[in-house]
Amino acid sequence: MPTNQQDTAELLRHSMSPKQLEKLEALANPHITDFVAHAIALCKPADVFVCTDDSADMARIRAMAVEFGEERTLSIENHTVHYDGYHDQARDKPHTKYLVEAGSNLGKTINTIDREEGLAEIQGIMNGIMADKTMIVRFLTLGPAQSIFSIPCVQITDSAYVAHSESLLYRPGYEECRRMEGQSGFFRFLHGAGLIEGGVSRDVENRRVYIDLENEIVYTTNTQYAGNTIGLKKLALRLAIRKADREGWLAEHMFLMAAVGPNARTTYLSGAFPSACGKTSTSMTRGNRIVGDDLAYLRVIDNEVRAVNVESGIFGIIENVNEQDDPVIWDVLHDNGEVIFSNVLVNKGRPYWLGMGIETPKSGTNHSGDWHEGKTDENGNQIPLAHKNARYTVPLRNLANLDDALDDPAGAPLSGIIYGGRDGDTWVPVCESFDWAHGVTTMGASLESKTTAATLGQRGVRTFNIMSNMDFLSLSLGRYLHNHLAFGKDLPSRPRIFAVNYFLEDDAGNFLNGKLDKLVWIQWMERRIRDGIVALKTPVGLIPKYDDLSYLFDQYLSKPYSKQDYEAQFSIRIPALLDKLDRVESIYRKNAPGTPDELYEQFAAQRSRLEQARKDHGANVLSPFVFPETK
Ligand code: SPV
Ligand code: MN
């Protein structure tokens, strides 16, 4: 590693052309040059490309992705396809670790490694990893530019696909860095894809994502999948959760949308759902407008909660995107704005995916290479035509339903927060909490969801996932929960908290709701917030009245809604809800010392309300019609 300024300057001069060096030096920031020098000394690239916000530099990145074989062009102009390795199709939780000093108190649920050991390991793996490759240096911003929310970032990668994806997903940051006039405070990301074979990272057994919280640097290697590599996405979220803890705000795994109510009034809602549980589709529901689909920062400004989309694009799951249910995104995927498809089937230059609602070809190229229907993997399992976690990457500016708040430096005023997971048997489709603390503890901090294809490993396993942010927590569970409780405590008016469940099943395992029903739940929440329409008071929160839902189903989906459907969906399943309280409480008791007492108090109160209701009504499952009306 270079040890002084002269060594750094020498190393930089030897590693890149004068033109690239000029772009770096124009930033006049020793923190940046030191990081670039550190990366060069470690990864030993053949060449360095410094990307500014200039459109020619952006175009160069895109061209590199095709030249390097990481993306292939498709029939529609500006569309490309990228493949991740067959075993590199999702986030790798076991190999994602925080580098911590001995005696750290992150708790049992967070994956850590001794700092010195971890640094030695990752730097060993990354030593010389860019030999024969071009190192790309990018500057981007999290959150809107020139805002209290913005965080400048430096991304270094040898993957043009990663760099190209970031052009579509984030706001440019070179000019923002220039304005920083030599200060520090950047998040820094260093990615090396490792040996590439057939366009994909070969040595996935050496895949690592190591997070240095102290220096706000993330090292990631031997992987291409965006969730493991794109610094500004989930790697930055982990750093942001720490920064938010220090500064008194919240960094969340949430969509942000403008719900459009009667007379075109706008109500901003955010929603935290685990990966692949409907975040993107909720933020795109017909008639409403999207601000963001995955990551939000929340701050109290002048006694009001304001929220921004951290990103400016979507890395969305493509499975089940079809023309009828998802017309806005369907259009974006078919017009000639920029799109990167990943891990889909390509046949004659056209992309195909699971659940697209049209006839699909019997052969082509996909994440397994040449594919034909019936092809099996090394375990004899049939390989579907596209991966379940296949995705599309697009900039939000191409969407017809984009809300103006996207680039507002003051963010959007937030009126409601929604928590939802893949829950077959406990929560009703929509329910409002009694108050902030009840919502934070029994909804956000009690979220459980079945695992999906967004992470490597078994699917369909019920898993605790606090605020849908569990995979990204860089704080102890107790501390993170404390921050949520404190955030809303002293505000004159707080966002309301709701729980939703799109995945409730009947006894035979059939889903009780249609894919579009969420449109009605959003409108009900909007009416609760804006009009204070009457609800029914159950032991777990406030649920809609049948008549209101019947009206909203008719208005928004032109569908009749029967009393039988209402009863099946909104019955309070007491034994399942009590079991859930026990399950979640034992997680906190076992793994989360420092959990605020308020959680245990709220759980005890909820338990006794459920037991009392069982006694009063003499049944385990209570029809919604038995509950009284309330404001
Ligand atoms: C998610 O899995 O939650 C995503 C995609 O949004 S990524 O985190 O990038 O894998
Ligand atoms: Mn996500």
pLDDT tens-digit map of 125-147: 999 999 999 999 999 999 999 99
Rounded Cα–Cα distance for residues 105 and 449 (Å): 26
Same domain, 28 and 172: yes
How many Å lie between the centroid of ligand 1 and the Cα of residue 626?
41
Same domain, 454 and 535: yes
| Closest ligand relative to 454 C-alpha | 1
How many Å lie between the centroid of ligand 2 and the Cα of residue 561?
32
Atom of ligand 1 at shortest range from CA of 91: 10
Same domain, 302 and 434: yes
Same domain, 319 and 355: yes
Cβ of residue 454 lying under 6 Å from some atom of ligand 1: yes
Left if phi > 0, otherwise alpha if psi is -120 to 50, otherwise beta: which for 525? alpha
How many Å lie between the centroid of ligand 1 and the Cα of residue 202?
22
Nearest to 251 by CA among 455, 420, 407, 484: 484
Boundary (domain end) residue, out of 341, 362, 397 = 397
Beta-carbon contacts of residue 46 (< 8 Å; ≥ 6 apart): 130, 131, 132, 133, 134
User: Residue type for 265, please?
Assistant: R
How many Å lie between the centroid of ligand 1 and the Cα of residue 269?
20
How many Å lie between the centroid of ligand 1 and the Cα of residue 364?
26
Residue-number span of the structural domain to which 325 is assigned: 315-397
Same domain, 476 and 570: yes
Atom of ligand 1 at shortest range from CA of 225: 10
Atom of ligand 1 at shortest range from CA of 454: 2
Same domain, 258 and 361: no
pLDDT of residue 1: 64
Atom of ligand 1 at shortest range from CA of 294: 6
Atom of ligand 1 at shortest range from CA of 226: 9
| Closest ligand relative to 296 C-alpha | 2
CA dihedral 228, 232, 233, 238 (to 10 degrees): 80
Same domain, 238 and 370: no
Residue nearest atom 3 in ligand 1 by C-alpha distance: 275
Residue nearest atom 4 in ligand 1 by C-alpha distance: 275
Percent of the chain with pLDDT over 70: 100
Q: Are strands 572-573 and 621-622 parallel, antiparallel or unpaired?
A: antiparallel
Cβ of residue 392 lying under 6 Å from some atom of ligand 1: no
In this prediction, residues 28-44 reach a mean pLDDT of 96
How many Å lie between the centroid of ligand 2 and the Cα of residue 252?
10
Q: What angle do CA 543, 549, 555 make, to 5 degrees?
A: 150
Cβ of residue 91 lying under 6 Å from some atom of ligand 1: yes
Residue nearest atom 10 in ligand 1 by C-alpha distance: 227
Same domain, 217 and 262: no
Beta strands in 131-195 (DSSP E): 134-142, 151-157, 171-172, 187-192
Same domain, 482 and 564: yes
Cβ of residue 226 lying under 6 Å from some atom of ligand 1: yes
| Closest ligand relative to 230 C-alpha | 1
| Closest ligand relative to 255 C-alpha | 2
Q: Are strands 187-192 and 217-221 parallel, antiparallel or unpaired?
A: parallel
How many Å lie between the centroid of ligand 1 and the Cα of residue 568?
33
Boundary (domain end) residue, out of 347, 380, 397 = 397
In a domain, 322, yes or no: yes
Boundary (domain end) residue, out of 397, 431, 458 = 397
In a domain, 502, yes or no: yes
Mutate to test the pocket of ligand 1, among 82, 84, 91, 95 (most ligand atoms within 8 A of CB): 91
How many Å lie between the centroid of ligand 2 and the Cα of residue 274?
7
pLDDT of residue 3: 67
How many Å lie between the centroid of ligand 2 and the Cα of residue 234?
7
Atom of ligand 1 at shortest range from CA of 274: 3
Cβ of residue 194 lying under 6 Å from some atom of ligand 1: no
Residue 570's CATH number: 3.90.228.20
pLDDT of residue 531: 97
| Closest ligand relative to 254 C-alpha | 2
pLDDT of residue 6: 85
How many Å lie between the centroid of ligand 2 and the Cα of residue 256?
13
DSSP-assigned letter for residue 397: G
pLDDT of residue 158: 98
Answer positive or negative: Cα dihedral of 257, 567, 467, 233.
negative
CA gyration radius, the chain: 25
In a domain, 326, yes or no: yes
Q: In the chain, helix, strand, coil percent, each to 5?
A: 35, 25, 40
Tens of pLDDT, residue by residue over 218-267, are: 999 999 999 999 999 999 999 999 999 999 999 999 999 999 999 999 99
43 is catalytic: no
Tens of pLDDT, residue by residue over 299-342, are: 999 999 999 999 999 999 999 999 999 999 999 999 999 999 99
In a domain, 79, yes or no: no
Rounded Cα–Cα distance for residues 517 and 250 (Å): 29
Cβ of residue 227 lying under 6 Å from some atom of ligand 1: yes
Tens of pLDDT, residue by residue over 59-112, are: 999 999 999 999 999 999 999 999 999 999 999 999 999 999 887 778 888 999
The structural domain count of the chain equals 3
Left if phi > 0, otherwise alpha if psi is -120 to 50, otherwise beta: which for 211? beta
Residue nearest atom 5 in ligand 1 by C-alpha distance: 227
Same domain, 413 and 467: yes
Rounded Cα–Cα distance for residues 514 and 569 (Å): 12
Atom of ligand 1 at shortest range from CA of 253: 3
Cβ of residue 234 lying under 6 Å from some atom of ligand 1: yes
What protein residues have CB closer than 5 angstroms to ion ligand 2? 275, 294
Same domain, 470 and 376: no
pLDDT of residue 277: 92
Tens of pLDDT, residue by residue over 378-405, are: 999 999 999 999 999 999 999 999 999 9
In which residue are the tokens 């955030």 written?
487
Tens of pLDDT, residue by residue over 466-524, are: 999 999 999 999 999 999 999 999 999 999 999 999 999 999 999 999 999 999 999 99
Residue nearest atom 7 in ligand 1 by C-alpha distance: 227
In a domain, 530, yes or no: yes
In a domain, 376, yes or no: yes
Mutate to test the pocket of ligand 1, among 165, 223, 234, 277 (most ligand atoms within 8 A of CB): 234
| Closest ligand relative to 226 C-alpha | 1
Atom of ligand 1 at shortest range from CA of 455: 2
Active-site residue, selected from the candidate residues 51, 153, 177, 277 = 277
Cβ of residue 299 lying under 6 Å from some atom of ligand 1: no
Nearest to 135 by CA among 245, 11, 228: 11
Same domain, 327 and 308: no
Atom of ligand 1 at shortest range from CA of 233: 9
pLDDT of residue 182: 82
Tens of pLDDT, residue by residue over 563-580, are: 999 999 999 999 999 999
Residue 198's CATH number: 3.40.449.10
Q: What angle do CA 197, 200, 202 make, to 5 degrees?
A: 60
In this prediction, residues 13-37 reach a mean pLDDT of 96
Average pLDDT for the chain: 96
Tens of pLDDT, residue by residue over 267-302, are: 999 999 998 899 999 999 999 999 999 999 999 999
In a domain, 80, yes or no: no
Residue nearest atom 9 in ligand 1 by C-alpha distance: 227
Rounded Cα–Cα distance for residues 567 and 512 (Å): 11
Q: Name residue 352's beta-bridge partners.
A: 345
Rounded Cα–Cα distance for residues 394 and 316 (Å): 8
Rounded to two decimals, the pTM is 0.97
In a domain, 631, yes or no: no
How many Å lie between the centroid of ligand 1 and the Cα of residue 587?
24
pLDDT of residue 350: 98
Cβ of residue 315 lying under 6 Å from some atom of ligand 1: yes
Residue 373's CATH number: 2.170.8.10
Residue nearest atom 8 in ligand 1 by C-alpha distance: 227
